[in-house]
């Protein structure tokens, strides 16, 4: 954000490494902001990023009118600000879900124009033909527009259940499931295993969370 010239201090474009004084006037995109409401990326500080292995059965909202457990329920409390989820997973899906205290970073990692990869392990009922896989790579017209997998690779499988790994560059509602359904194939398991540069470690179990380190956060900032 600072490198892009969007932050100004006392009317002057801020530079990386600038120090803020208590009475400095700060604006982002020429709009004044309060110091305590500024995202970390606007101050030059490194944002906090939390990774969570979402289990099936949890919803990606801060509160649920039906009383279902939410992904925010077990997260550690922040002294300042709040956790913002970077994307979502539907109630029947599991896997890697990232949270940050920086809304600007969250928006950047979620927006389709930034082409951030999301990788999933998908178990499909039925074996897809080469023609179906080619259609999913080229693009399918869903109700909310064209969608496609940027990459598909076959995995293991027994009987009618087959595993695939797929990569998409956006996060529309149930997009992975709807793409498979467009070919008459149902998804029986869906696990997000990577978001951008951050992967789901094999040693982690559903319900666990962990804070990303300096190098991992820097990798996300540089996407």
Residues in the chain: 223
Active site residue 90: yes
Looking up tokens 């600000």 gives 81
Residues 6+ apart with CB under 8 A from 217: 46, 47, 49
Q: What does each C-alpha distance from 182 to 27, 120, 135, 163 come to in angstroms?
A: 46, 18, 10, 17
Task: Give the dihedral sign, CA 48/106/78/65.
Answer: negative
Give the active site residue among 18, 24, 64, 90. 90
Catalytic center residues: 90
């Amino acid at each position: 954000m600072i490198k892009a010239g969007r932050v100004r201090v006392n009317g002057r474009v801020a530079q990386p490494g600038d120090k803020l004084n208590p009475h400095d006037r700060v604006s982002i995109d020429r709009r004044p902001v309060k110091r305590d409401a500024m995202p970390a990326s606007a101050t030059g500080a490194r944002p906090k990023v939390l990774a969570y292995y979402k289990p099936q059965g949890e919803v990606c909202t801060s509160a649920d009118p039906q009383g279902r457990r939410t992904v925010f329920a077990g997260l550690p409390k922040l002294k300042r600000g709040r956790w913002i989820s970077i994307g979502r997973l539907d109630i029947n899906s599991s896997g890697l879900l990232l949270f940050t205290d920086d809304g600007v970073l969250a928006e950047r990692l979620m927006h389709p124009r930034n082409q951030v990869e999301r990788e999933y392990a998908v178990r499909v009922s039925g074996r897809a033909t080469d023609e179906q896989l080619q259609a999913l790579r080229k693009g399918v017209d869903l109700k909310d527009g064209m969608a496609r997998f940027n990459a598909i690779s076959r995995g293991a499988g027994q009987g009618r259940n087959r595993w695939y790994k797929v990569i998409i560059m956006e996060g529309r509602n149930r997009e992975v499931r709807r793409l498979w359904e467009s070919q008459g194939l149902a998804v029986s398991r869906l696990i997000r295993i990577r978001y951008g540069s951050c992967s789901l470690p094999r040693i982690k179990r559903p319900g666990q969370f962990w804070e990303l380190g300096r190098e991992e956060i820097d990798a996300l900032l540089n996407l």
